[in-house]
């Protein structure tokens, strides 16, 4: 089993920054993808950013140039640096880990951006 624990959400004004962290523990396969989805009220969950153990990244078009994903493989931890936040970034952000065809989720952390 895999556990994901997120931290770093909160309330910030438009133009501000936040950094999310997600630590994975348990039976983690050495090759995996980790990253973040988000879900705003009344909307579907969407992929924000993802990074492989090799460091390959993938971003949603809406966050390119503003968000940066990174990871520390020795710590099984992934980070999401979010800059120039906009009200439309307001959502619950869910950490995920994908390995061997299985998808694991964190409990979610709220990010609220005020205008």
Tell me the pLDDT tens digit for each residue of 58-82: 999 999 999 999 999 888 899 999 9
Quote the pLDDT of residue 58.
97
Please tell me the predicted confidence (pLDDT) of residue 30.
81
**Tens of pLDDT along the chain (115 residues)?**
899 999 999 999 999 999 999 999 998 878 899 999 999 999 999 999 999 999 999 999 999 999 999 999 888 899 999 999 999 999 999 999 999 899 999 999 999 999 9
Looking at residue 105, its pLDDT comes to 96
The pLDDT value recorded for residue 77 is 94
Q: Which residues contact 41 (CB under 8 A, 6 or more apart)?
A: none
Predicted pLDDT of residue 80: 98
């Amino acid at each position: 089993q895999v556990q994901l624990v997120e931290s770093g959400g909160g309330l910030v004004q438009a133009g501000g920054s936040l950094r999310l962290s997600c630590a994975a523990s348990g039976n983690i396969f050495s090759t995996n993808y980790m990253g973040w989805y988000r879900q705003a009220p009344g909307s579907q969950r969407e992929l924000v950013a993802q990074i492989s153990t090799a460091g390959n990244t993938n971003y949603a078009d809406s966050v390119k140039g503003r968000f940066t994903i990174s990871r520390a493989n020795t710590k099984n931890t992934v980070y999401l640096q979010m800059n120039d936040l906009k009200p439309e970034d307001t959502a619950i952000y869910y950490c995920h880990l994908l390995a061997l065809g299985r998808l694991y989720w964190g409990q979610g952390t709220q990010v609220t951006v005020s205008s």
